[in-house]
Every structure is written in structure tokens, then in C-alpha cells.
Amino acid sequence: MATRVATSLSAGIVALALVAAGGPTRIEAQTVASDQAAGYVVFAKVISDPNDVFQTGVASDTVVQLTNTGSAVRVIHCFYVDATSECTNGLNRFGTSQACRDSSDCTPGGSCAPQWSEDDFTFVLSPLQPVGWSVTQGGTAPAVPNKGSEGGPLPGVATDYFIGELKCVEVDGTTAVNTTNTPINANDLKGEATIYEVAPGAAGVSLVDVRTYNAIGIQAVSTNGQAQNDRTMCLGPDSGTPAVGSICTTREYAACPRNLILNHRFDETPVVPGGPVVATELTLVPCSENLDDIGAARPVLSVQFLVYNEFEQRFSASTPFDCFKSVQLSNIDQRPGNERTSIWNVAVQGTLAGQTRIRSVMGSELNVGRGILAVAEESRRTGGAPPAAVGSAAFNLNYQSSNPGKFDVVVINAASN
């Protein structure tokens, strides 16, 4: 016992000495988190529908907020990843746009085909500078002190309907003109996205529903502020040997999580007896992405789900996706109209709440770790066809472990200024 006490006292004295000398008492591991600043941030779902393309009675927009939490001027390079699908035979059945959610939105003979595109832009943030803009209308970054009009435009999307994601990374240079869009070793960015839905109400008063989630931050391994070797961002792995032939051999960013954990109420759970019922929508995006050629062939990810109810009974399901998937939980395993037979429905589970554990299946590719990221939105809905939302909230998922042995790879393009 005396030996153990002496050892503890010695360790405590060493720790106090380090603190007094200004030295670290521990090394913080780089991580993927929604509550810490990072060098690469992902807004997993942004939407713009100012003219109510699908005539739901609701217009939508997303306000993005991004803050430079550091003490240096930073150049930021961002990408809108457009995952809006389009009818193959022209305008949708509403006659408002070619955009569609599924084939039922298209006129007879047409189908709803996925389309991928990206639009990038660059701007500059002063130290400790926050900025916000509308995805529909855009905005302007504030001028940087002693740099004249430097700051930069923050474009909105140039389509009548947009659904997809926004990704931003800290890059080299001191202005939007002299950057080469090469990522740097820094963790200064913190972001939030707020989705607004506006519907007309009685006496000309609009009904506004608002929900906010934090951007997912992927931290750089080093924070020395130096430029990395190229525009290929290597995420993880924390352990293991990189696959032979992988374009990534050195970890530059934290590895994407192996498991995503979603705590939720089951769909159609009543908020109060006889009142609105709950529905949860899950949005999935891949960790690996070629932003220099967004239309290139990509592997289809197979995502597995383990669902637990309050009796600890376990159910399972799976779904494929490649670039972007936003779906109500009860429509992961059932078609629209059959939600009451889903394993995410309260009628099947018999308990009000549960937990869903999400993971992707690893493949044989050398350069794709097949990591995934996600956000969730819970809405309260009244009856009717379709049911009307009367309130909602967005939230981030929990993360567990990381993908060993493989890198997720993000390729960004050259400067477009």
C-alpha cells in the first residue's frame, strides 16, 4: 500500500510541475465532433426551396453560420454538393421545375434520376470572425481589417430547389486570390446550420418552424498552420497499415467514426395522447468524396442498422446510398404508405423510444474507407394526407470508434478564382 501511495504522490508532483512550467499534462487526440473547432467542417443537410416547388404549402431556406475561432486570418474554401434529383422527361407534375423527390413527382413516363454537381467558392475570415448567409440568397463576408475590401462573396445556390450538403476547409494563402486551395494544418472552424420553414397562417401571419444542428468538424492532426502536401485530404486511420496502393499514406485528419448512434423516439409515437405524432428523418453523407469530379463513378455504400427498443430487443435493416440520402426512419425498410409495419414504428416496437446504431460495410477499395456522417431531424406532425409538421428539432448523432486500416479520402479542386 505504501508503494502505491508514494507512486501516486510522485505522479501528482510531476503533473503540478508541468502545469507550473506551462507544459501539457495530456495530449488531446484529434477527433470528429460537432462541438469542437476543426479544419474541415461538414453541414450534412442544407435545403433551399423558396417558391415551394412541390406545393406543400411550405417554403424553405437554410442559414449557415461559420466562425473562425483562431487568432489568424484564414482563407476558407467551401463546396455546395447538389444532390437534387431530376425528372427524366422534363418538368415535374407541378410544372414548376425539373426537380423531384421520387418518381411520383414526375409526369407519366418519367422517372426521378439522381444528379450530382458541386459549386465552390472562397472567402476570408478575420481572427475570431463569425459570418452567416442564406443558402437561397447568399451574403458577403465582412472586410478583413487592413486588407481593403477582402472578405468575399458568399453565394447562394442558383437553382429553384436545392437539397444537399455544404463542406468547408481551411486552405493556404492570406487572400481569396493568392490561395492554391491547398488545405492547411489548423483547427479554427466552428459552424451551425438553421433550417427555416415558412407557411402562411391565419390573418396573413406566417407560421415559422426553425431547427438547428452543429456542423460536423473533422480535426486536422497537426495545428502548425503549414500547408499540406496536396489537395488530397487523408482522413485516418488511427491504427493499422494503409492498404497497398492507397493514395494516402499519412494521416492528415481524424478518422471518420465507425459507428453512429442515434437515440430517438419511434415514428408515430404520440407527443401527448391524441396529439401530434413524432417522425424522425435521417440524412447520410459519405466521408470520402471527389469534389474535383463530383460526377465520377463512386462506390455504393451499404449501410447497416441495429435497432434496440426499451426491452433491449434487437432488429436490423440495411439500405444503399452513394452521395446523399435523406429519409424518414420508417421508410428505410418500408415504402411510403407502409410505415406502420416498419421496425422504426411504435406499432411494431411497442415502446416509445429506442436506439439505432449505424455503420457502413467496408469494401475492397484501396482509397475509400466508406465512412459515413449523419444528422437527424425530429418533427411533430398532425393527421391528414400528407401530415402537417407543427414543430421540429435537428440534432447531431453520437460517434463511436473509427475505421482502422483504411483512409477516407476527400479530393478538392484547384483554385477557381
Q: What is the pLDDT of residue 149?
A: 73
Q: What is the pLDDT of residue 367?
A: 62
Q: What is the pLDDT of residue 240?
A: 63
Burial of residue 137, with CB atoms counted within 10 A of its CB: 0-12 exposed, 13-18 middle, 19 or more buried: middle
User: What's the average pLDDT block by block, 10 residues per block, for the chain (417 residues)?
Assistant: 35 36 46 95 98 94 98 96 96 95 95 93 96 96 84 93 97 92 97 94 81 98 94 83 75 93 96 88 94 79 96 96 94 95 97 96 74 95 62 94 81 68
Q: What is the pLDDT of residue 222?
A: 94
Q: What is the pLDDT of residue 370?
A: 85
* Angle subtended at Cα 114 by Cα 109 and Cα 117, rounded to the nearest 5 degrees: 135
* Grid cell at residue 17: 510541475
Q: What is the pLDDT of residue 404?
A: 67
Q: What is the pLDDT of residue 84?
A: 96
Closest CA to 147 of 165, 173, 166: 173
- The amino acid at 397: L
Q: Is 88 left (phi over 0), alpha (psi -120 to 50) or beta?
A: alpha
* Grid cell at residue 104: 411520383
Cα–Cα dist 402/220, whole Å: 15
Distances (CA, A) of 94 to 87, 172, 336: 12, 45, 20
Local structure of residue 49 (DSSP, 8 states) = B
Q: What is the pLDDT of residue 334?
A: 96
Cα–Cα dist 410/235, whole Å: 8
* Grid cell at residue 376: 437527424
* Grid cell at residue 188: 479554427
Residue with C-alpha cell 463576408?
141
- The amino acid at 237: P
Cα–Cα dist 11/301, whole Å: 48
Diameter over CA atoms, the chain: 84
Q: What is the pLDDT of residue 53?
A: 96
Q: What is the pLDDT of residue 374?
A: 97
User: Which residues have a Cβ under 8 Å from the Cβ of 229 and sit 6 or more positions away?
Assistant: none
Cα–Cα dist 368/407, whole Å: 6
User: Which residues have a Cβ under 8 Å from the Cβ of 398 and sit 6 or more positions away?
Assistant: 260, 261, 262, 263
Residue with C-alpha cell 492554391?
180
**DSSP helix/strand/coil, 396:** strand
CA dihedral 82, 279, 60, 323 (to 10 degrees): 0
Cβ proximity of 154 and 92 under 8 Å: no
Side-chain-side CA neighbours of residue 33 (13 Å): 12
Cβ proximity of 88 and 106 under 8 Å: yes
